[in-house]
Structures are given as C-alpha cells and as structure tokens.
A and B are shown apart, each in its own frame.
Chain A
C-alpha cells in the first residue's frame, strides 16, 4: 500500500484562501472549484484553520519572486461615478462610453463639463474619507483626452485641513505633462501623485479638478477610469471597488506561501509577531529621514515589489553617505534594508548604529566587515537586489547607505526595517507613517479539535525549515494535542544548539529517540511513530536514537503549529504506526 493511502491527514502548501489551508487529505477536502460551488467538497471534514491578525503589516515573496503586500483601494465605487458616493460639480457622467484601459471592456465613462470658463469649479469628489495624520497616500486615476482644455487639470486630496495637489495634467500634451503618470494604450494614461496627510480628519479625494477660475469650456469632455486611493508612494495594480473597498494580496488570516526569489520552493511561512519601527519604510524623501552626504528621491526604479517605488540615494561625499534616523527603539534588534548596488563602481554597503558598530558588505553581497554586532552575506532577491541585515545589542540611531563610495553615483533602496527584540530579519513589514511602528501579528495554524481521530497509535511527519536558530524560537514547534488542547507530543526547537527533537509531554518532556542537528534555512524531515507502547523518532531517512517506551498513553486529536519561525513544505499524519522502513522512506530528503 502506498504511504499516501495510509495517511489520514496530508497538507502541502498548494491551495489556500483566507483563514484556511486545505488538506490534500482527508479524502474529499479541497479548495472550492472554479464555479465556487464546492462540488465534491466534504463539508463535514475540517481543513486547517489559520490565524494572523495582520494584513497591511504582512508580506510574502510570491510565485513571481516579488514581494507581495496587502493592497486596498480605499475609494468606494472606484469605477461607477454615477453613485451618490461621488459628488459631481458642473460635470455630467455618461456611463459605459468607451473601452477601459485595463481589460478593454466598454465601461469607461465620458465626463462632460457643464459650465464654461470662469468662476465655476468643475470637479468630482468622494467625501467623508478618513485621513490619518502622517500616513503617506497615493491617488491615481486613468484619464484619456477628450476635448477639454487640460492645462490646469489636477488630481487633489483634502485631508480635512490641507489641500494636496498633483502637478498639472496636460491631456493634450502628455510628453510635457508635469504630473507623474504610467503610459497606457489607446490614449489612456494613469496619472498619480502621493502625499503625507497633515491631519487626522475627514476629507475629500478629487479625481479630477478644474478649480475656480480655471479654463475649460462647457461641452468639452474627458474620459476617466479606475480611481484609486491607497497607502504608499506609487499606484499598485488597479483594484475595483463597490460599496466596499477593493482588497487584494496578503489578507488577514491568509496563509502565506512564500517562494524563493526565483519563484521556486513554495512553502508555508509561519513567523512570530514582529514590529517595524521605521515609520517610512519606502518614502525616503520624507523629512522623517535625516540625510548625511546623500540626496534622496522616491519612485526612481523597480523595487523587489515589482513596482517603480524604489528610492534612490545619490552620494555627495566619499565618506559615509546614509539615510539615518535618531531616537529609534532598536533595543537588542535587527536593522535591515534592500538595496540594488549594481550602479555603484566603488564603496561598500553600510548599515550601522551610532555608538554600537557597523556592518559593511561588498557590492557583490559578500560580507566585508562587522563590528559591534553580527551580520552575514546579503540575501539575493534577484534583479540585482539584495537584503542586508545587521543584528545589534542596543542603540537608537540607525544608518542605511554606502561607505566610501564615489560622489555622484546612485543606488536604489527599499524597505528599511528596524525590528526590536529580534536576532534575524523577518519578512518585510511595510510602514507608511506610523511613528510608533507597525506590528505584524504571529501566524498560527491548527486542525480542529478531533481531526486526527484520537487514540495513541499514529505517525506524524513534517518537512520544515527553521528560519533561524535563536533563543526566541525555542520550545514547541509542532504539537500533537488532545481535543482539550493538552499537549501530548512536541517537536522541540532548541537554541543555541541547532537541533530539533520529539518530546513526551506526558512524561516530563522526556526525549523520544535522539535529536536531529539542523541548519537554519535548510529543510529537514522529522517523523514520530507510536504503536501505543513504543515510540520512535526518524529524521532525514534514519531512526534517531533508540526506541522509547511510552509511560502514559497518548491521545492524538489535534495538530498545532504555534508561534515560531519556520517554513512548512508538508505535513503527513496517519492513524497507523508505519513500519521502520516506511518511516525511513517518508523522511528521506
């Protein structure tokens, strides 16, 4: 009989939705089909439950090898301007007029100006929008030239106390238009601007505006499509919204299947709670950042996110050329950032903490020197991007940049991060203006209380990778529980010794078999088998240590993966005690 036929529970990180990670087994469980009718779906069998109370603070590397965030279009009816959510002033909407610039459907409206030039504002707004002081927002909308005289056309935001305006939009002279835009097809262009709100208040977004006294004539027209208001400095792919905001990406309770930068090796990413105390992780022109021997610009190149939202620093001195920030809570923490050093011909990448020390990397990502803390080779994120991290015992002033570079040379940067109380960098946590930091909640995964079926006979195999070996990630990594959550067996993570081992919670956490030495960042397979009287441990294809005599019978009802830092490629559970040969086969890498 094949091992899969003996399994009663099997998980591989292939199908998932918010709050659930579907089993391959029990038989019949699978994701809803393309009709969303769940045909063949056995509703009586539970899949894994999944918790993570953060969306905007969580990211993953997706199958394209790009950092993926939570995204939200905060405008309502982003394409249906006939709705009462939109306040039209001196303009008329004709719906479904021409093909839209996204998928070509005939649903982009025509906007006709009703009043002639002079003392009439011509605009369309969405009102009662909640702005948060200090947050960085981006507003974008597709526009296409009609017959308007467009030299004073703008996009605006009013945060309840201050007006923020795009540069002017010249629909009839795109190449010379001052407003930033993404070029589209068939005369469409996506115009955008970003700003930092100055007030926590209710305000407006103006998706087009001719202010009082500005010129265009009655009867002239333009076309609009896809208004979007979101956090950040650059517009993400358009998200359609209705009576609720449009959402996509890493949602609350959505398991994160994380891939390597080449889009391979997808595995379920489970991380403990972490914070990013950098208030503007992507907005380096913000005055929050102090600059030493650099000039800074936003949105100057393609970031590891695949958007044109990488910042650029240009060196104005051969000495330390850095973005820096004082009065940070770093503690015993980790500083990290992404940079693309390929445009530099000299110097070293630098991350440092005043009064503590510095880490320097060569331009190829190899470590050059470290003092005052610890650092390793930079992590390659592809397309010339590396992530650099530096662990320090204390400090409050963080520096990110270049040491000993050549004046006038530039480098792209992205995703600055300070994680207090940490020894290694976790996945990127975007922060668009929260001065006290943003905290990503931990990932938790577990079965229902009786999904394993009970009893003391069973086989559990996990293929996982410990992301780091640190004292904050010791204790139970994988648990077998009773239906009332009493721990029976755990796969124990040790630190600083780099090993894992099965332990019997019913017998003072006695070790079952022997421990397996593991390496951070490398997958391993561990198996526990119990026939009711004897338990054995297998790791990477061989039995670990000797047989273990069970003192108190187990009751395997529930599986739980608690708050630790690891990746999961597969989980296998059988209500049978597999043979030694089968356990060896099951754990062979």
Chain B
C-alpha cells in the first residue's frame, strides 16, 4: 500500500474517517499526544480517536459449552481509528492503512463511512467489488 495519499482526498468533508497502524501502544499514544493536550491531559483538538489495540484477526472458537477450543489470533500492529474534524494531521499518513470498508470499527457516521469507502476504491481500483451476476437461486 502507498505510504501517503493525495491531500485533496482528505478535505472534502467536515468529518473524515481514517485508519492507522502503529508498532505498539506507546507510539500510537505519542502520535495522539502530538495532536494537542492541555496541562490536565485533555485533548485540545476536536478529532475523535479510538485506540483499538491489537485487533482480532482470527476469532477464537468454542465448543457447545462455551469452552474455548482455539484462542483468538491478534494482529501484530496496534490499530487506531480517527474521525478527523476538518483537518487531517499530515504526519499520520505514514501509518495509514486501508482495510475493506469499514474494518472492524467505525464512528457511526454514515457519510464518513461512505467517503472512506469511496476513497479506498479511488485509490485502489482493483479492490472495487465486482458483482457476480451468476446468481444461483
């Protein structure tokens, strides 16, 4: 995947939904703090940030009694979702990732989710879903 995206894709909406991966929680927190915090540790920006952590890539399996058969497999990288308000921090571009819409988490913003999907397909045309017309009833 490309490490940086054209900026014009970033500024069409008041809210923009993007996904990022960091090597660990500390580096994610460092990037978040760089967006601005006051002396009490409160954010001074208006972005919404969700630290998803090491997301499940393969779900655990269970028997009929609910006992775990195989444990969940977690991603190596630390995931962070951001709902940017107005401006996107350009230095986050090196950590951007583009999972299929809309990954495992969203901010419940239908317009931002749609923009994420449209931008993903504009950047990666080979990932645009192809309708299978061979519908078998």
Q: Please determine whether B72 and A475 come into contact, CB atoms closer than 8 angstroms.
A: no
Q: Please determine whether B110 and A273 come into contact, CB atoms closer than 8 angstroms.
A: no
Minimal Cβ-Cβ distance residue in B for A158: B135
B60 at the interface (CB under 8 A from A): yes
Q: Please determine whether B110 and A202 come into contact, CB atoms closer than 8 angstroms.
A: no
From the candidates A57, A163, A203, A326, name the one contacting B62 in the complex (CB within 8 A).
A326
* Minimum Cβ distance to chain B for residue A396 (Å): 10
26 sampled A-B residue pairs with Cβ under 8 A: A54-B48, A54-B83, A54-B109, A55-B108, A56-B108, A70-B108, A128-B131, A133-B100, A163-B136, A200-B129, A202-B129, A212-B137, A252-B15, A253-B14, A273-B48, A327-B59, A329-B53, A434-B105, A436-B52, A437-B105, A439-B50, A439-B83, A441-B107, A444-B46, A476-B42, A563-B42
* Minimum Cβ distance to chain B for residue A161 (Å): 7
| Alpha-carbon distance A290/B135, docked complex (angstroms) | 33
Q: Please determine whether B109 and A53 come into contact, CB atoms closer than 8 angstroms.
A: yes
Chain B residues engaging chain A, CB cutoff 8 angstroms: 14-15, 40, 42-43, 46, 48, 50, 52-53, 55-56, 59-60, 62, 66, 68, 72, 79, 81, 83, 85, 100-112, 117, 128-132, 135-137
| Alpha-carbon distance A139/B103, docked complex (angstroms) | 23
Chain A contact residues: over half helix, strand or loop, or mixed? loop
| Alpha-carbon distance A72/B108, docked complex (angstroms) | 12
Known: A53-B109, A161-B132. 12 other contacts (CB 8 A): A51-B46, A53-B48, A55-B110, A57-B108, A57-B109, A127-B131, A128-B131, A130-B101, A163-B137, A204-B135, A324-B66, A436-B56
From the candidates B14, B107, B111, name the one contacting A440 in the complex (CB within 8 A).
B107
A454 at the interface (CB under 8 A from B): no
From the candidates B62, B68, B109, name the one contacting A252 in the complex (CB within 8 A).
B109
A115 at the interface (CB under 8 A from B): no
Q: Please determine whether B50 and A202 come into contact, CB atoms closer than 8 angstroms.
A: no
Output the residue of A202, A430, A439 with the most chain B CB within 10 A: A439
| Alpha-carbon distance A203/B135, docked complex (angstroms) | 10
Given contacts A53-B15, A53-B85, A202-B129, contact A475 B42 (CB under 8 A): yes
Q: Which residues of B contact A63 (CB under 8 A)?
A: none
From the candidates A203, A438, A440, name the one contacting B105 in the complex (CB within 8 A).
A438
Given contacts A53-B83, A132-B102, A290-B62, contact A436 B135 (CB under 8 A): no
Q: Which residues of B contact A262 (CB under 8 A)?
A: none
Q: Please determine whether B106 and A438 come into contact, CB atoms closer than 8 angstroms.
A: yes
Q: Which residues of B contact A132 (CB under 8 A)?
A: 101-102
From the candidates B60, B68, B79, B130, name the one contacting A202 in the complex (CB within 8 A).
B130
Q: Please determine whether A475 and B105 come into contact, CB atoms closer than 8 angstroms.
A: no
A160 at the interface (CB under 8 A from B): yes
A-B contact count (CB 8 A): 129
Given contacts A53-B109, A200-B100, contact A160 B131 (CB under 8 A): yes
| Alpha-carbon distance A202/B55, docked complex (angstroms) | 25
Q: Which residues of A contact B117 (CB under 8 A)?
A: 130
Interface string of A109-138 (1 = CB under 8 A from B): 000000000000000000110101100000
A542 at the interface (CB under 8 A from B): no
| Alpha-carbon distance A273/B108, docked complex (angstroms) | 12
Given contacts A54-B109, A275-B50, A434-B105, contact A202 B131 (CB under 8 A): yes
* Minimum Cβ distance to chain A for residue B120 (Å): 11
| Alpha-carbon distance A550/B50, docked complex (angstroms) | 41
Q: Please determine whether B129 and A441 come into contact, CB atoms closer than 8 angstroms.
A: no
Q: Please determine whether A200 and B105 come into contact, CB atoms closer than 8 angstroms.
A: no
* Minimum Cβ distance to chain B for residue A20 (Å): 14
| Alpha-carbon distance A25/B96, docked complex (angstroms) | 45
Q: Which residues of A contact B130 (CB under 8 A)?
A: 202
Interface string of A423-463 (1 = CB under 8 A from B): 00000011000111111111010000000000000000000
Q: Please determine whether A436 and B109 come into contact, CB atoms closer than 8 angstroms.
A: no
Q: Which residues of B contact A351 (CB under 8 A)?
A: none
Q: Please determine whether A326 and B68 come into contact, CB atoms closer than 8 angstroms.
A: yes
Q: Which residues of A contact B112 (CB under 8 A)?
A: 53
Minimal Cβ-Cβ distance residue in A for B135: A158
| Alpha-carbon distance A327/B66, docked complex (angstroms) | 12
Q: Which residues of B contact A474 (CB under 8 A)?
A: 40
A108 at the interface (CB under 8 A from B): no
Q: Which residues of A contact B40 (CB under 8 A)?
A: 474-475
| Alpha-carbon distance A60/B60, docked complex (angstroms) | 35
Output the residue of A57, A128, A436 with the most chain B CB within 10 A: A436
Q: Please determine whether B131 and A252 come into contact, CB atoms closer than 8 angstroms.
A: no
| Alpha-carbon distance A132/B110, docked complex (angstroms) | 13
Q: Please determine whether B50 and A435 come into contact, CB atoms closer than 8 angstroms.
A: no
A211 at the interface (CB under 8 A from B): yes
Q: Which residues of B contact A57 (CB under 8 A)?
A: 106-109
From the candidates A56, A160, A329, A563, name the one contacting B129 in the complex (CB within 8 A).
A160
Q: Which residues of A contact B101 (CB under 8 A)?
A: 130, 132, 200
Q: Mark out the residues of chain A between 31 and 75 whose CB falls within 8 Å of any chain B CB in the assembled complex.
A: 51, 53-58, 70, 72
Q: Mark out the residues of chain A between 180 and 224 whose CB falls within 8 Å of any chain B CB in the assembled complex.
A: 200-204, 211-212
* Minimum Cβ distance to chain A for residue B2 (Å): 21
| Alpha-carbon distance A168/B130, docked complex (angstroms) | 29
Q: Which residues of A contact B105 (CB under 8 A)?
A: 434-439
| Alpha-carbon distance A475/B37, docked complex (angstroms) | 13
A362 at the interface (CB under 8 A from B): no
Minimal Cβ-Cβ distance residue in A for B17: A53
